[in-house]
Structure 1
């Protein structure tokens, strides 16, 4: 019913006014034509939009690719300057220690009194410088020659050492080494035990006098062991703290001399520190005070088996 009415109306419009009917038809055609392109445009827009994301995706990939190499290069460049920075501080610490050793010799050189405190160089004598050495028993000559040879090595006084390979020895270590090298057996290591060893052998001669020309020295012979107490503080029984070997009398001065390792005894009125020849003099008698040790000579002993 509606279609027939529409047709009638169209015919009426066409008869009365053909021009407007054409315009209406054109308009109708335009109306029908306009919706058709719109879906085509939408369809075309859809593929146009699809390439745009594809194109946008491609630059996104390029953008993603671009930051990744940029980031890889940045750490590489950053590491390279870091290495340079690390290398730059490394010379700076190397340069800093260089002045420190430069400063250390200056204070070491400035306290010149230290060598004075260490005393004169170690004294050494040849056997010919000892009066009557050629008349000594053969074993005594061998022992004293070995002892005097050690004085020529510039050895220090080193507490606890009995071997010249350590660069020094202490007093009882010197006695132990010389006697052992000369074939004397069962020699104790420390001075207190060496004193007991001589006492048990029955060769010890006590000295109470404080005079060098006392009759108590009538039996003193070259090669004998000399013993002191009180040279330093130590809990020991018996309290023997120092030992040396008697050499005899020096030809030049006629003074009694001994050999061993000491930390400050004298030869020709000069202190010596180490393995050396020393003057054999009795220490001065001093009043004992609380907390202070005073050296005192207690006696001498023939080395067991040496004078036979």
Structure 2
């Protein structure tokens, strides 16, 4: 494949340096765009580092399963919803994550629900704004799941997303 073929889709930060070229599209083949400059290599390294840190944050959140909910708590053994995401992402090196769910919603890069990947943030909203946050825990049999600290009297857990009134957010690049 020629490097001079026009790129139809730009490389996505979420999927590395992959791009479709007109020739690859016609053949139905996914091509990896070559790294041609130090800037591209640095960007690719940065995105791999972010992906690694998101994975770390997800593992930290999973380890909190079973911990009790406590309003205003941000760990290490009790959490409210945004306290869980704050604790997990801070442990993974995201030092600028805000503390509350509404501030985290403003901080995150909003993405389509269909593009949500394990480790992205899930924000629940009503007519008053964002009221809850969790970590996207994946899909199973068409259902979407969230890992979160749900409410007083409950424990951190993974459960099926119960409403259509939510949106996904990726950590800022």
More helix by share: 1
Q: Which residue of 2 is the match for residue 263 of structure 1?
A: 151
Partner of 1:163: 75
Structure 2 residue matching 1:187: 3-state secondary structure:
coil
5+ residue gaps, structure 2, are 1-50
Answer yes or no: is 1:144 the counterpart of 2:58.
Answer: yes
- 1:190, 1:240 → 2: CA distance? 10
Across the aligned residues of Structure 1 and Structure 2, the Cα RMSD in angstroms comes to 2.4
Query: Aligned match of 2:132 in 222, 239, 242?
Result: 242
The reply to whether residue 189 of structure 1 matches residue 99 of structure 2 is yes
- Match of 1:164, SS? coil
Q: 2:161 aligns with which of 262, 280, 291?
A: 280
Offset at residue 181 of structure 1 (A): 0.4
Higher strand share: 2
Work out which of the residue numbers 190, 194, 204 in structure 1 matches 2:110. Answer: 204
Deviations 1:58-111 (A, max 9, x none): xxxxxxxxxxxxxxxxxxxxxxxxxxxxxxxxxxxxxxxxxxxxxxxxxxxxxx
1:144: how far off? 1.6
Q: Hey, what's the Cα distance between the residues in 2 that align with 1:192 and 1:254?
A: 28
1:223–1:303 CA contact under 8 A, matched in 2: no
SS of the residue aligned with 1:139? helix
Distance (Å, rounded) in 2 between the aligned partners of 1:172 and 1:222:
17
| C-alpha distance in structure 1 between counterparts of 2:115 and 2:81, whole Å | 23
Counterpart for residue 106 of structure 1: none
Q: TM-score by structure 2 length?
A: 0.62
The 5 Å alignment of 1:67-146 reads 137-146=51-60
List alignment gaps of at least 5 residues for structure 1. Answer: 1-136, 206-215, 265-271, 284-295
Once the two structures are superposed, residues 169-209 of structure 1 have per-residue CA deviations (whole angstroms, 9 ceiling, x without a partner) of 110111100000011121100011111112xxxx213xxxx
Measure the CA separation in 1 of the matches of 2:90 and 2:143: 28
Instruction: Give the aligned partner of residue 172 of structure 2.
Output: 304
Report the Cα offset of residue 254 of structure 1.
5.7
Q: Work out whether residues 249 and 255 of structure 1, in 8 Å CA contact, stay in contact via their aligned partners in 2.
A: yes
Per the alignment, in what secondary structure is the counterpart of residue 262 of structure 1? coil
1:147–1:259 Cα contact (<8 Å) kept: yes
